[in-house]
Structure 1
Amino acid sequence: MSAQPVHSGAVEHPRVPRTIGGISSALRGSRRAQFFAELLEAQQGPELDGVLSAWWGRAMLDTDPDRDRIRSGAEAGTLPTTSMDDVLRRRQQHGAR
């Protein structure tokens, strides 16, 4: 298992634009209302940036073409896994701390 992206694509053109409109368009169902509720309460600056970053990540997950397959695999317990020891060993082999 690696930390490489599952889907290729230009970093400059993500599936979901990092904008309020892009995020809200990508969210499913009641998640859009939750996004706007948090957005309207956030103060400009780090708090607003945090809301946008968190919800952009959720929107990216909502629009992942393999979302349903991955969710089914997770629920069935059939997704590949690795131990934390393996992750740390691989990081050390590649010079990461």
Structure 2
Amino acid sequence: MSAQPIHADQPRVPKTIGGVSRALRRMRRAQFFAELLEAQQGPELDGVLNSWWGRAMLDSDPQRDRIRSAAGNGTVPTTSMEEVARRRQEQAAQA
């Protein structure tokens, strides 16, 4: 599995109502709008948008179906926290 760089200034799904709506799969879109229409402006509305933005990111992941299949088959590659820490130390040493 290869890692794709994440650019904070260019997310795959814009964190807007339209961006989230376009990225969600059809069945989820109605639920998103139902929650959105009930939320009050401010922290509650922000919370709904943030929550659904995460779901939209998952729905729009180009590897979503492959990953779900691998998870169902028990073949998702895993990495220990020790390995993650080692890789981060190596990357920091190279920078």
TM bucket, shorter chain: 0.7 to 0.9
Q: What CA distance in whole angstroms lies between the structure 2 residues aligned with 1:42 and 1:88?
A: 42
Structure having the higher helix fraction is: 2
Once residues 7 and 34 of structure 1 are traced to their aligned partners in structure 2, the CA distance between those partners, rounded to angstroms, is 30
State the TM-score, normalizing by the size of structure 1.
0.77
Distance across 2 between alignment mates of 1:37 and 1:26: 16
- Give the 3-state SS of the residue equivalent to 1:17 in structure 2: coil
Select the residue among 69, 72, 83 that pairs with 2:66. Answer: 69
Q: Tell me the equivalent position of 1:24.
A: 21
Identity percentage over the alignment?
A: 67
- The residue type paired with residue 24 of structure 2 is L
Specify every segment of 5 or more residues in structure 1 that has no aligned partner in the other structure, as ranges.
1-5
Cα offset, 1:44, TM superposition: 1.0
2:93 matched residue in structure 1: none
Q: Tell me the residue number matched to 1:87.
A: 81
Equivalent of residue 36 in structure 2, options 36, 39, 59: 39
Which of 56, 60, 71 lines up with 2:53 in the alignment?
56
Partner Cα separation in structure 2 for residue 17 and residue 60 of structure 1: 9
Q: Deviations over 1:41-73 (max 9, x none)?
A: 111111111100010000000110111110010
TM-score by length of 2: 0.78
Residue aligned with 1:21, SS: helix
Q: Cα gap change, 1:13/1:77 in structure 2, threshold over 3 Å: closer, same or farther?
A: same
